Structure 1
Amino acid sequence: MESVLPTHAGDSANRLAHKNADRFRFATYASVGVAGTFAQYAVLSALVSIHACGAVLASCLGSVTGAMVNYLLNYHATFRAKASHNRTAPRYFTVAAISVGLNSALMFAFMHRLRMSWPLAQCITTACVLLFGYSVNSLWTFRVRSA
């Protein structure tokens, strides 16, 4: 006869461990984003201060640098990927490109349609893009599966 009792304590502990691992992975992903942003701003500041190029180009070059930092840190630290860079890098940078578009669309909508101030719009946009990027990179780029 099958039991209809609640799940065993071991099942609950296993689910809790996976939930904690997911939270830690998300926190690591967000921290990696801070490192990538720092790299972007460092390149931007350096190029502008030595008059190597204008701020817009310097920001673009810094953004590419930040994306590369983010990719490598996420590959090794956040997701501990086993798949080859040939598989993960194109996926990661596809997600990054979509994220840039999402960032632009949300900023436009929040500022021009909802009349938000740019700092508030950017904060909300950043949170949305962070959740989007983490979700897609977890499920597609690095294929993290919870048990």
Structure 2
Amino acid sequence: MVGGSATLLQFVLLFLLVEFSHLNEVLASALSFALSAIYNYLMNYYFTFASEKSHIETAMKFMLVAALGLAINSSTFALFLSLGLYYLLAQVGATIITLFVNFLLHKIWIYRS
């Protein structure tokens, strides 16, 4: 539920930033990823993994993973756009690739007790 809602938030923000703010698609994707990452961190910390670690410890690890996720998301999104995919379809592809890496790092490194 948390991952799905964070992904939905990312797509809604991407759509709004591209369609109504007329932001460049790659910049809009990166910004929507970053904003949904904050939501994702808080929801994962409190609900998915019910972490007992301090925010100082988990947030630092999370920021490293989020930065890696942002790099993966942005680069694959840009690649898919360059191949001519519509920006929302390009985001689907980038999301699938980023999702696997992020979840594994969250589970085995950030929130593990």
What's the TM-score once normalised by structure 1's chain length? 0.55
* Residue of structure 1 aligned with 2:60, choices 90, 99, 110: 90
> What is the deviation of 1:82?
1.0
For the structure 1 residues 63 and 126, does the alpha-carbon distance in structure 2 shift closer, same or farther, using more than 3 Å as the test?
Answer: closer
* Corresponding position: 1:124 with 2:93: yes
**Deviation sequence 1:28-79 (CA, Å, 0-9, x none):** xxx223433555647x95xxx8xxxx564xx577655432221111001111
CA contact (8 A) 2:33 2:70 kept: no
**Deviation sequence 1:6-40 (CA, Å, 0-9, x none):** xxxxxxxxxxxxxxxxxxxxxxxxx2234335556
* Corresponding position: 1:77 with 2:47: yes
Looking at structure 2, the residues matched to 83 and 117 of structure 1 have their Cα atoms a distance apart, in angstroms, of 41
Q: Which runs of 5+ in 2 are unaligned?
A: none
For the structure 1 residues 64 and 103, does the alpha-carbon distance in structure 2 shift closer, same or farther, using more than 3 Å as the test?
Answer: closer
* Residue of structure 2 aligned with 1:135, choices 104, 107, 112: 104
> What is the deviation of 1:124?
2.1
Moved over 2 A (4+): 33-42, 59-68, 107-112
> What is the deviation of 1:89?
0.7
Q: What is the root-mean-square deviation in Å for CA atoms of aligned residues?
A: 3.4
> What is the deviation of 1:128?
1.2
Higher relative contact order (CA 8 A, sep 6+): 2
* Number of residue pairs aligned between Structure 1 and Structure 2: 106
Looking at structure 1, the residues matched to 36 and 93 of structure 2 have their Cα atoms a distance apart, in angstroms, of 21
CA contact (8 A) 1:35 1:69 kept: no
Give the number of the structure whose alpha-carbon radius of gyration is greater.
1
% identical equivalent positions: 29
What's the TM-score once normalised by structure 2's chain length? 0.68
SS in 2 for 1:83: coil
